[in-house]
Amino acid sequence: MATAPGKIILFGEHAVVYGRPAIAIPLTQLRATAVVASATQPGIRLIAPDLGQDMLLSDAPPDDPLAAVIRQVQTAVNLPTLPDMTITVSSQIPVASGLGSGAAITAAVVRALAEFLGVSHLATPEWVSTLTYEVEKIHHGTPSGIDNTVVAYEMPVYFIRQQRQNHIEPFTVARPLHLLVADTGVRSSTKIAVGDVRRQWQENPVKFEALFDGCGRITQAARAAIETGDVAALGPLMVENHALLQEMTVSSPELDRLVTTAIAAGASGAKLSGAGRGGNMIALVTPEMETVVHAALLAAGAKRVLITTLA
Ligand code: PMV
């Protein structure tokens, strides 16, 4: 059995696909779980009760995500055949909402399978991250690699996508940050949002390079503020980052409403998080304002509001 957490991107989504830095943190209270057990029946059975899925690997469609994970692990450990087994996955992380549910499920299955196959010594965060990235590529086309990195390493990271080897840097948090994570309830495809940004970048490279540069500068300033404990500087940086994401057309009326509501209710900053168009937004609050902003977000239509602290 193994688990992996969800994640939130604090700064730099989308621009991270184009080599600008981004900051992401694990969302440890929402987790994906994979259980691998020996089977008495022949074959490899894949069960995802949340999705109502129960099938044999041999019957899985070519693009099935769980089947892809198993193939990745089998190739990585160089086994010509796999033993009969049952793989059951479940997740508390809502799908298609910017919280990294796909990467978390993959990472949990990779770890649980490695253990079951007696190769858990291989399952370092780097190995789990690399295999998870390969599966993400199948579904997302051009993922930056930040999701698989955060869920596999399970620590806050400053991330830059690079040829050959990504730049992954843990950073220190001088003063705790209190964040609310609010779900619009609107499901949105990362692949479509990322593809739309790519099309607009191709049509208008000067404008989009400038937007990405702006996100990169904000992320660098945010990292400095987190490391020096300058929490007051972070709220305005979130607001600026959200404005750039709006210009990239990845916000939505629901996200904008929750961002405006959070700030009006006393959050020091707020922005969408992840691919956008739906999914989740985040708001930075003081412990004193947490309850008020939480209630305001629910009143403004948020389907769920989580509280998390980066310490
Ligand atoms: O919405 P999510 O959790 O899939 O996050 C996507 C983050 C992007 O920067 C938009 C894409 C990427 O691959 O980094």
Q: Tens digit of pLDDT for each residue in 82-121?
A: 999 999 999 999 888 889 999 999 999 999 999 999 999 9
CA of 58 to the centre of ligand 1 (A): 31
DSSP per position, 208-221: HHHHHHHHHHHHHH
CB count in 10 Å sphere of residue 228: 12
CB count in 10 Å sphere of residue 35: 17
What is residue 62's predicted lDDT score, i.e. its pLDDT? 83
What is residue 48's predicted lDDT score, i.e. its pLDDT? 93
Return the H-helix or E-strand segment holding 59. Answer: none
Residue 254: pLDDT over 90: yes
* pLDDT one-digit tens code per residue, 43-54: 999 999 988 999
Residue 240: pLDDT over 90: yes
Average pLDDT, the chain: 95
Q: Provide the token pair at 252.
A: 């939505």
Q: Is 147 a catalytic residue?
A: yes
CB count in 10 Å sphere of residue 202: 9
Nearest CA to ligand 1 atom 14: 144
The CA-CA-CA angle for residues 34, 71, 44, to 5°, reads 60
* Tokens 């009326």 -> residue: 253
Nearest CA to ligand 1 atom 2: 98
Residue 285: pLDDT over 90: yes
What is residue 139's predicted lDDT score, i.e. its pLDDT? 76
Taking each helix axis as running N to C, give the angle between helix 146-153 and helix 125-140, from 0 to 180 degrees, rounded to the nearest 10.
150
CA of 303 to the centre of ligand 1 (A): 21
- Mutation test residue for ligand 1: of 133, 140, 194, the one with most atoms within 8 Å of CB: 194
> In the chain, what percentage of residues exceed pLDDT 90?
92
Query: For residue 310, what pLDDT band results from cuts at 50, 70 and 90?
Result: very high
Taking residues 228-243, report their average pLDDT: 97
Active-site residue, from 54, 147, 183, 213: 147
What is residue 253's predicted lDDT score, i.e. its pLDDT? 98
Lowest-confidence region among 64-68, 138-142, 251-255, 269-273: 138-142
Q: Provide the token pair at 75.
A: 């190739």
Domains of the chain: 2-170 (3.30.230.10), 177-310 (3.30.70.890)
Residue 141: pLDDT over 80: no
Cα–Cα dist 116/74, whole Å? 12
Contact 249, 196 (CB under 8 A): yes
Contact 19, 161 (CB under 8 A): yes
Show the ligand 1 pocket: residues with CB < 6 angstroms. 9, 13-14, 16-17, 98, 100, 143-144, 146-147, 190, 194, 274-275, 279
What is residue 94's predicted lDDT score, i.e. its pLDDT? 87
Nearest CA to ligand 1 atom 10: 275
Cα–Cα dist 108/91, whole Å? 10
Residue 140: pLDDT over 90: no
What is residue 142's predicted lDDT score, i.e. its pLDDT? 85
> In the chain, what percentage of residues exceed pLDDT 70?
100
Residue 249: pLDDT over 90: yes
Return the H-helix or E-strand segment holding 133. Answer: helix 125-140
Q: Using alpha carbons only, how large is the chain's radius of gyration in Å? A: 20
Strand partners, 9: 24
- Mutation test residue for ligand 1: of 136, 146, 190, 191, the one with most atoms within 8 Å of CB: 190
CA of 102 to the centre of ligand 1 (A): 11
The CA-CA-CA angle for residues 198, 201, 205, to 5°, reads 155
Residue 260: pLDDT over 80: yes
